[in-house]
Amino acid sequence: MSDADAILASLAEVARERQRRAADPALGERVRALKQHQQQRLRGTHADLLASPRYRQSALFFLEELYGPADFVQRDAQFARVVPAITRLFPREVVGTVLALAQLHALSERLDTEMALAALDLPDAPDTQRAPNPPVLDAAAYGRAWRAVGQPAERERQIALTTQIGRALDRHTRSRLLRASLHMMRAPARAAGLEALQHFLESGFDAFGSMGGAEEFLRTIADRERRLAAALFAGGAG
């Protein structure tokens, strides 16, 4: 499978998850509550990184571009419409990063849908969770939904893809040629309808370029997320 086909396959999976939620308003609301809970939890877990002058910009990038509650409809629509242009216009190293992003997006959306369904179907879930505007998901309910879905290998893959994207962005920022090429892509990207992708890449480059080396940052995030996953599987709250 080519990089273009693999990107399109991941985007098609994201579209299927959106269709499932559109067909069930309660599910859609629960997914939004789940995403908001996850972002708030991440802000708490990594509060020191957000407060760090060195790491704040990269931590915000992770929260807003990789784990935020936004559904990235515009970015995904641009990807799907012009995937051949992505593979033709952007350097191969950048295309690989886009592919990893699409795969992470698809995996996260699928797991979020399955967790939201589990939260709705748990025996102790109140009837109000089926209402159009369900209550905010709490840490205990999040932990129960996590264990109901399971899939530890996919949770590990989620962390690995996140780390892969971060390391790729860190590596890209060290290439003066790649940075110059990315800036030169602004006008062609705008003309090709790739503004959202260009924004993601430039935001990542700016965030990682300002850090002066990302390994400690990425290792800290991965270690914390792995510990949290282990605690959740062991019966903890999230």
Rounded Cα distance between 86 and 80, Å, is 10
Indicate the DSSP class of residue 135: P
| CA distances from residue 179 to 4, 95, 146, 169, 183 in whole angstroms, order as listed | 22, 14, 39, 11, 6
Contact 162, 46 (CB under 8 A): no
pLDDT for position 13:
93
pTM: predicted TM-score of the whole model, two decimal places: 0.85
pLDDT at 121: 75
d(CA 150, CA 156): 11
CA distances from 189 to 91, 97, 98, 221 (A): 13, 17, 14, 31
- The reported pLDDT for the residue numbered 119 is 86
Confidence (pLDDT) at 217:
94
CA angle 202, 2, 97 (to 5 degrees): 20
Residues of the chain with pLDDT under 70: 68-71, 122-136
When computed from its CA atoms, the radius of gyration of the chain, rounded to whole angstroms, is 18
On whether the CB atoms of residues 29 and 134 are closer than 8 A, the answer is yes
Residue 212 CB-density burial (10 A; 0-12 exposed, 13-18 middle, 19+ buried): exposed
Average pLDDT taken over every residue of the chain: 84
What element of type H or E holds 180?
A: helix 176-184
DSSP 53-75: TTTHHHHHHIIIIISSS---HHH
